[in-house]
Amino acid sequence: MWFFKLLSLLPWRVLYGLSDLLSFVAFRVLRYRVEVVKNNLRRAFPELSEADIHRLSKRFYRNLSDILVETLKLLQMKETDILNRVHIQNMEALREGLRMQRPVVILTTHQGNWEWLQHAVQLHLPGTAVYFVYQQLSNPFFDRLMLHLRSRFGAQGIEMKQVFRKALMLRREPVILALLADQSPRRDSSFEWVSFFNEPVAFFNGGAKLATKLQSPVVLGISYREKRGHYRLEFSTLSQPPYDAEAASSITQAYAKALEDSLQRQADNWLWSHKRWKLSPPAEMTRTSSME
- pTM, 2 dp: 0.94
Question: What is the signed CA dihedral for 60, 65, 66, 72, rounded to 10 degrees?
Answer: 150
Output the pLDDT for position 291: 44
Cβ-based neighbour number of residue 30 at 10 Å:
11
Output the pLDDT for position 253: 97
CA distance 109 to 113: 10
174: closest CA among 102, 121, 96? 102
Report how far apart, in Å, the C-alpha atoms of 263 and of each of 36, 47, 180 are: 17, 14, 16
Report how far apart, in Å, the C-alpha atoms of 156 and of each of 159, 166, 239 are: 10, 12, 24
Q: What is the mean pLDDT of each run of 10 residues along the chain (292 residues)?
A: 91 98 98 98 98 98 98 97 98 98 98 97 98 96 96 97 95 97 92 96 96 97 98 98 95 98 97 94 63 48
CA distance 89 to 234: 5
Output the pLDDT for position 238: 97
Where do the H-state alpha helices sit in the chain? 2-8, 12-24, 34-44, 50-73, 79-85, 92-98, 117-124, 140-150, 163-169, 206-214, 247-265, 283-291
Helix (H) or strand (E) holding 232: strand 230-239
Q: Are 179 and 255 in contact (CB under 8 A)?
A: no
Output the pLDDT for position 292: 52
CA distance 70 to 116: 9
Output the pLDDT for position 286: 59
